[in-house]
Amino acid sequence: MAKLRILFDNFTLALLAVVAIATLFPCEGRGAVFFEWLTAAAIALLFFMHGAKLSREAILAGAGHWRLHLLVFACTFVMFPLLGLALKPVLTPMVGDELYLGMLYLCALPATVQSAIAFTSLARGNVPAAICSAAASSLIGIFLTPLLVLLLMGVEGESGSTLDSIGKIVLQLLVPFIAGQVARRWIGAWVTRNKTWLKTVDQSSILLVVYTAFSGAVVDGLWQIVPLGHLVGLVVACCLLLAIVLWLTSVLAKVFGFNLEDRITILFAGSKKSLATGVPMAQVLFATSAVGMIILPLMIFHQIQLMVCTVLAQRYARRPELPVESPAAQ
């Protein structure tokens, strides 16, 4: 039963329910406009709360580990995109051209913040470095992901300009985050005490975006366009991509001589992609009708990475504690 809870947690079930609701009752016309405004407000609130939650002291504590951060950024923004391009001959027959574009978009995204830190902590890795690396990846991705999307997919965003897309992403994501950092001195303690509420805002905003995106896609005939074989192939493709990335990050961390705690951090921070950042960015970078197809690979990859990394983190957590030398013994 516990293993089933890992596979099908409440948020996964909610995601599946939202996709089903969007399929049966898609929002159109004025309803779609209302949900787009509501989604934009929820995303702004989400990044405001993340800004208020993230401690500058925690970031500074892990900021000095520059070799680790460089490797994590290289895995996130170089290795992933190169793998997406290199695997095209394998992935395209499995998922089709449209979903392959979603795989490329997935490869261009920054790392996830919350789960990378949570898994590193559970596995007894270098938590301060994970906090710094994941937070920096998320912020850098605001500027770098649109450029990678342009290079990988030839897409410049709905506005037709990569700079305009970056400007919109900065306005929707970075400005609320900075506002949250400024407001932290007044509300930081309250946010820390109410982490459950922040998690609710986080998940609710994602569910809103998914509903809005899939509504537009369903209206345009998403489920008539995507065959069942391509959906099965997409699951296999996400498993294949994650397996290769986990293996490469593990090998590279060993090759560069990192200790076990740092290797754990690199494994979890360098192999994950952010649903919380990727879904709102897709709203800016792609037409509403195309967003459903673009984020479908991300949604599947997100769930697979959570399941696999949960198992890995628990295995690392079971390793014996190293004895700590007392000052007298030194």
Beta carbons of 167 and 179 less than 8 angstroms apart: no
Give me the number of domains the chain comprises. Answer: 1
Q: pLDDT-derived band of residue 279, with 50, 70 and 90 as boundaries?
A: confident
Render the burial of 88-111: b for 16+ CB within 10 Å, e for the rest: eeebeebbbeebbbbbbbbbbbbb
Q: Does 201 score more than 80 pLDDT?
A: no
Assigned domain for 246 exists = yes
pLDDT of residue 308: 86
Assigned domain for 7 exists = no
pLDDT of residue 59: 65
What is the Cα–Cα distance from 265 to 280, expressed in whole angstroms? Answer: 26
More confident residue, 240 or 134: 240
pLDDT of residue 12: 72
**Average pLDDT, stretch 256-265?**
93
Structural domain containing residue 192 = 28-317
Assigned domain for 147 exists = yes
Segment of 51-60, 101-110, 308-317 carrying the highest mean pLDDT: 101-110
Q: What percent of the chain clears pLDDT 70, i.e. is strictly above it?
A: 87
Q: What is the largest CA-CA distance in the chain?
A: 74
Assigned domain for 96 exists = yes
Beta carbons of 132 and 62 less than 8 angstroms apart: yes
Assigned domain for 327 exists = no
Assigned domain for 129 exists = yes
Map tokens 């998940």 to a residue.
203
Assigned domain for 23 exists = no
Q: Does 110 score more than 70 pLDDT?
A: yes
Assigned domain for 326 exists = no
Q: Does 121 score more than 90 pLDDT?
A: no
CATH number at residue 98: 1.20.1530.20
Question: Could you report the per-residue pLDDT of 29-72, keeping only the tens digit for each?
Answer: 788 888 878 877 887 887 788 778 777 776 666 667 889 999 99
